[in-house]
Amino acid sequence: MTAVPDIEFRGVTKRYGAVTAVTAIDLAIPPSAFVALLGPSGCGKTTCLRMIGGFEQSSEGQVFIRGQDMAGTPPYRRPVNMVFQQYALFPHLDVEANVSYGLRQARPRLSSQEIGRRAGEALEMVRLAGYGGRKIHELSGGQQQRVALARALVNKPAVLLLDEPLAALDKKLRTDMQIELQNLQREIGITFVLVTHDQEEALSMSDLVCVMNGGRIVQLGQPSEIYDEPADLFVADFVGKTNLLSGKVAGHTGDLVNVALADGTVIAARKRIALQQGEAVSVSLRPESLSLGATEGSPFKGIVRNRIFLGSTAEYAIEIQGIGTLLAKADHVIGHGNLFKPGEPVAIGFASGTPLAFPEIKNNGTNQRVAKNVEIIS
């Protein structure tokens, strides 16, 4: 990429006393991208965002904004603006004064007409025209969210930082705001950096997802890449739903690895890194990659335990002797009546894609964190 990245981390490490929050991060965010920093709480994603904003200084390494080293530059001299998690609107100022706050700091001073016009435009952009005189506490959560957006965007920053911006909204509003944010980003064309622990949010909104765990970047890629080709067991488990089956490497067939599961079934799986004969592995099977009711070449037979009907799809928890419970997802065709009932025996095959095998998580420092996080998520 020849263009100067909007944001660049070079070997950035952040320590708080004895605790290392972020370790040796290298990351370049291209211009006009919508990037999500995704990870469980404590993974270092917020620390990264705060280092871009200037609220934290890196212990090692450099943070660049549009090619400029930001070391020692305070937040008020950085060309970025942030939407805070709880919005942090100024309660003693009205909507208009909140939105124009940044413009009023400009030196040389802007004329009051100019400030008023731009604040009005910003409010219009977030569909709050005419709300300028309202008090902050008179607004709903969704409206406050939009004021926070207008207050940041009115300054035309190089990069907009969003710290879990949708966490405080209810589900319906969250979906609306996801679309609105996406549209805004395309309209304005500046880089958005979003921090979230919600994998759905990250996948649905951004062009680029940066999955973090234990203070490191685990994977950087487009949402579909992250979902289809997870870099390791943590990503496979954290992003989307998956079934993880333990087994041992029984052999190799070409690029594929044959994994013997607990009950002796051998399945072929793809791999990300070389696996040794006899090595303990986990095989990831996405629920939608399983097909139910197939009779030919079905590796598993089980009994439906639960059915979760979701309208367009149905999810089944299927118990398989010697292996455990698998989650499977099947499309629902209207009027077809193709639903399995709890208690019904069913054969399970692979509908699409090949399972992925990962080395089993080892019991050392960082990986223990992974294991712990996996527990929290599941």
Interface with another protein, residue 132, by CB under 8 A: no
Give the tokens for residue 117.
């016009």
Give the tokens for residue 45.
């994603």
Out of 40, 53, 120, 359, point to the residue binding another protein (CB under 8 A).
53
The partner residues of 161 in beta bridges, in order of sequence, read: 82, 193
Interface with another protein, residue 47, by CB under 8 A: no
40 membership: H or E segment, kind and range: none
- If phi > 0 it is left, if psi is from -120 to 50 it is alpha, else beta; for residue 11 that is left
Interface with another protein, residue 58, by CB under 8 A: no
Number of Cβ within 10 Å of residue 130's Cβ equals 10
Out of 75, 116, 221, 299, point to the residue binding another protein (CB under 8 A).
75
Report the nearest approach of another protein to the CB of residue 314 (Å): 42
- Name residues contacting another protein, limited to 134-173 (CB under 8 A): 136-137, 151-152, 155
Interface with another protein, residue 84, by CB under 8 A: yes
Region from 41-49, 79-87, 112-120, 186-194 binding another protein, contact rule CB under 8 A:
79-87
The partner residues of 208 in beta bridges, in order of sequence, read: 35
Interface with another protein, residue 335, by CB under 8 A: no
Region from 6-14, 99-107, 115-123, 197-205 binding another protein, contact rule CB under 8 A:
99-107
For residues 313 and 279, is the Cβ–Cβ distance under 8 A?
no
d(CA 152, CA 162): 10
For residues 25 and 61, is the Cβ–Cβ distance under 8 A?
yes
Whose Cβ is closer to another protein: residue 55's or residue 265's? Answer: 55
The partner residues of 68 in beta bridges, in order of sequence, read: 65
d(CA 81, CA 160): 5
Region from 28-36, 62-70, 76-84, 347-355 binding another protein, contact rule CB under 8 A:
76-84
Interface with another protein, residue 302, by CB under 8 A: no
* Chain center to CA of 75: 25
Region from 89-97, 111-119, 184-192, 291-299 binding another protein, contact rule CB under 8 A:
89-97
Whose Cβ is closer to another protein: residue 163's or residue 232's? Answer: 163
Report the nearest approach of another protein to the CB of residue 152 (Å): 8
For residues 114 and 154, is the Cβ–Cβ distance under 8 A?
no
Interface with another protein, residue 52, by CB under 8 A: no
Out of 13, 23, 30, 55, point to the residue binding another protein (CB under 8 A).
55
Interface with another protein, residue 92, by CB under 8 A: yes
The upper half-sphere exposure of residue 314, i.e. CA atoms within 13 Å in the direction of its Cβ, equals: 19
Whose Cβ is closer to another protein: residue 105's or residue 321's? Answer: 105
d(CA 187, CA 181): 10
Whose Cβ is closer to another protein: residue 146's or residue 151's? Answer: 151
- Per DSSP, 149 falls in state H
- Among 59, 100, 53, which Cα is nearest to 75's? 53
Interface with another protein, residue 101, by CB under 8 A: yes
* Residues near another protein (CB under 8 A): 53-55, 74-77, 80-82, 84-86, 88-92, 101-102, 105-106, 136-137, 151-152, 155
